[in-house]
């Protein structure tokens, strides 16, 4: 996510807007660091991403959406690094790939599918 302009040590609700005035994101700061749930929006007002921050680092489950509202990807973070099961989807809604992260690196078996849902590859990552 893009860097946010805010006063140092600011605590409280925060929102940003696109040049046209529409809402870009909303969340909160605690002592100048992103905290709690943040929502990110496309210019048309549709939800782009949702997730939590702790001490300015992405934490826990996150989900991203396409402009049509379908899932683009979902996964979790631990201390700002990708962790656990991650999935991405093709534009047609079929699963694109899935696998696990450990400390921000791919770990173990990753599978990839074609747009028709047919398994196209498998690869094992050492992490």
The per-residue pLDDT for range 111-127, each reduced to its tens digit, is 999 999 999 999 999 97
pLDDT of residue 3: 59
Distance between CA atoms of residues 122 and 127, nearest Å: 15
Q: What distance lies between CA 27 and its chain's CA centroid?
A: 14
| pLDDT, mean of residues 22-35 | 95
Q: Residue 2: pLDDT band by 50, 70, 90 thresholds?
A: low
| pLDDT, mean of residues 77-102 | 97
pLDDT at 97 over 70: yes
pLDDT digits (tens, 9 = 90+) for 33-88: 999 999 999 999 999 999 999 999 999 999 999 999 999 999 999 999 999 999 99
Distance between CA atoms of residues 86 and 82, nearest Å: 8
DSSP 8-state symbol, 71: E
pLDDT at 16 over 70: yes
By the 8 A CB rule, do 88 and 96 touch? yes
- CATH of segment(s) 12-125: 2.20.110.10
């Amino acid at each position: 996510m893009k860097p946010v302009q805010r006063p140092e040590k600011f605590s409280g609700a925060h929102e940003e807007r696109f040049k046209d005035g529409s809402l870009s994101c909303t969340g909160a700061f605690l002592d100048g660091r992103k905290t709690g749930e943040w929502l990110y929006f496309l210019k048309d007002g549709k939800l782009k991403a949702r997730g939590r921050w702790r001490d300015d680092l992405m934490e826990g489950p996150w989900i991203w959406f396409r402009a049509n509202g379908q899932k683009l990807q979902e996964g979790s973070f631990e201390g700002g690094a990708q962790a656990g099961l991650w999935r991405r989807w093709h534009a047609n809604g079929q699963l694109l790939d899935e696998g696990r992260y450990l400390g921000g690196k791919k770990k173990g078996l990753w599978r990839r599918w074609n747009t028709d849902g047919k398994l196209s590859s498998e690869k094992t990552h050492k992490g």
